[in-house]
Structure 1
Amino acid sequence: MSVIISARNEERTLPALLKQVQRLNPAEIIVVLNGCTDNSYGLARMFKQATVVHCPESAGHDVGRALGAKLSRGDILLFLDGDMVIPAPQLAVFAWAVDGGVDVALNDLDALLPSFALSDDVTRCKLYLNSVLGRSDLGVSSMTAVPHALSRRALERIGYRELTVPPKAQALSIIEHLRVEKAGKVNVIKHNRLRQGNTGAGNAMEQLIVGDHAEALLRVLMHRNASGIISAKNLQEQRRQLAAWRNGV
């Protein structure tokens, strides 16, 4: 197993997370530091097993995950963020799922979120993309959220570059008939670190994630058009469904 951790200024949580990761006894730990100005680099270097990739300028968490995936050698890739400490047993569930044949093991957050009418735009985007892909059973489960894990087969099939846009990578996984399932249930909402860029309606992070889902939907439409799946009747039905989702009914 390769554990890939993306972090930016996480000196308060990164050491404790690394200790939990070590309990999993992975083959390798790859820490990608994005534009850190604190002591995250020095603390990460104290863990001899960790390969530390230092990007002086912030490239973003998703780019960090793609870079870590490219450098990885494991058959199982577990993706984490450095801003929250998750106990090893909860992390192991995702690795076990992949070891058992799952290609994309996602975090199940359905029980933690409000009804559709009260949901934010990001949640609605996740629900809608999964619905369009015929996987409403996935609910809001998304490669946008951690923890999640991939098989080596999934990485080779979709390509590490696609991980820079997680919803698109998820869409490609389903299009390629990979086995995508919910695995563990980790409350990352409770532990998510609040920053200036991820709080408030229409914040920068929300806009980024919504844009990622628009890109994913475009890829789905391109695939269906090339496969001859799209027809005028299908487009009309999709517009009707979109209107219903937008109106919260």
Structure 2
Amino acid sequence: MKATSTKAVIRLNQKRRSPASTSIRRNAAGTARSTSRKPAGRQPQRLLRGLRGSLSVIISARNEARTLPPLLKQVMRLHPLEIIVVLNGCTDNSFQRTRLCPQAMIVHCPETAGHDVGRALGAKLSRGDILLFLDGDMVIPAPLLAGFASAVDGGVDVALNDLDHLLPPFGLSDDVTRCKLYLNAVLGRSDLGVSSMTAVPHALSRRALEVIGYRELMVPPKAQAISLMKQLRVEKAGTVNVFKQNRLRQGNTGAGNRVEQLIAGDHAEALLEVLAQRRMHSGESLQEQRRQLAAWRNGI
């Protein structure tokens, strides 16, 4: 399991708006500019009107000063209860840019903790009935995000991004895609295809978080395996093409890159959890379960 010794320093932006109709904000150059409030009749239409539960949006980011402001603008259109932004190992001005969002609670990790650890930390701090997880490098339109929150509000426990029709057939797929397909098949949910908690956006119900445990979110495939074994309601909730927006970095490009190895290891940990749970409930030997894994692998 991934672990970090980083101590998160929580900084809550507590800027108060002026009661006057016009507020003053300083830009990067230090010049004051006037920003008039929009008349009540011109407020943007609420996308999640009638939502029964409260929404917590959790964003994990590392050096995303360019994309965080427009992403936060889209998130604000959902009128969430809270926005938790976990900044891990940022060396740019992501912190300063995020502070411009009056609703953002900033969790500052001076050292790199990783996206998955950031999501687990954000989940632990959250208060909402619905938890929507995003990455800071992807600006996703609010109407697409609303579908995941609505699915959970309608009774889904784990709402996943459906990427099946955006990927090639199994024979032409990369190792990460095959790991996702294999895990879902082992768990009897081939209908989920490549849908995975490894990918964003995805959303959880408060019930799912309590069943899975926030610590397990540090290993997304394991959290998904637990959710399926615990009979939570796991469904595809919409399609967001994250491939077009995924920021290319040194660690996530090329065959066998660091991120690919990390995800493959996470899936191995998830499979070990599946084996452990089945051995505990069925009394099967480890050797018998290894035969089952080989049969599943050959059957895909």
- What is the TM-score with the length of structure 2 in the denominator? 0.80
Report the AA paired with residue 42 of structure 1: Q
Matched, 1:194 2:252: no
Q: For each residue in 1:17-49, what CA deviation from the matched residue of structure 2 results, as whole angstroms up to 9, or x when unmatched? A: 000000000000000001000010000011110
**1:157-213: CA deviations, max 9, x gaps?**
111000000000000000111000000100001110000000000000000000000
Task: List aligned pairs for 1:166-245, cutoff 5 A.
Answer: 166-228=220-282, 230=284, 235-243=290-298, 245=300
Q: Which aligned segments of 4 or more residues in structure 1 are displaced greater than 2 angstroms? A: 229-238
Deviation by residue 1:68-121 (Cα, 9 ceiling, x = unmatched): 000000000000000010000000000000000000000000000001011000
Aligned partner of 2:168 in structure 1 is 114
Unpaired stretches in structure 2, ≥5 consecutive residues: 1-54
- Distance apart, 1:236 and its partner CA: 2.9
Output the CA distance in 2 between the equivalents of 1:52 and 1:216: 30
Match of 2:137 in 1: 83
How do 1:1-249 and structure 2 match up within 5 A?
A: 1-228=55-282, 230=284, 235-243=290-298, 245=300
The alignment's C-alpha RMSD in Å is 1.2
Structure 2 CA distance for aligned equivalents of residues 90 and 229 of structure 1: 45
> Aligned partners of 2:216 and 2:153: how far apart in 1?
22
Q: Report the alpha carbon displacement of residue 238 of structure 1 after superposing the two structures with TM.
A: 3.0
State which structure, 1 or 2, has the greater radius of gyration over its C-alpha atoms: 2
Could you say which structure has the greater relative contact order, defined with CA pairs below 8 angstroms and 6 or more residues apart? 1
SS of aligned partner of 1:183: strand
Q: Which amino acid in structure 1 is aligned with residue 293 of structure 2?
A: Q
1:104/1:229 Cα in 2 relative to 1: closer, same or farther (>3 Å)? Answer: farther
Query: In structure 1, what is the Cα distance between the partners aligned to 2:289 and 2:217?
Result: 29
Q: Identity across aligned pairs (percent)?
A: 76
Give the counterpart letter for 1:238 in structure 2.
Answer: L
Q: 1-side partners of 2:254 and 2:169: how far apart?
A: 19
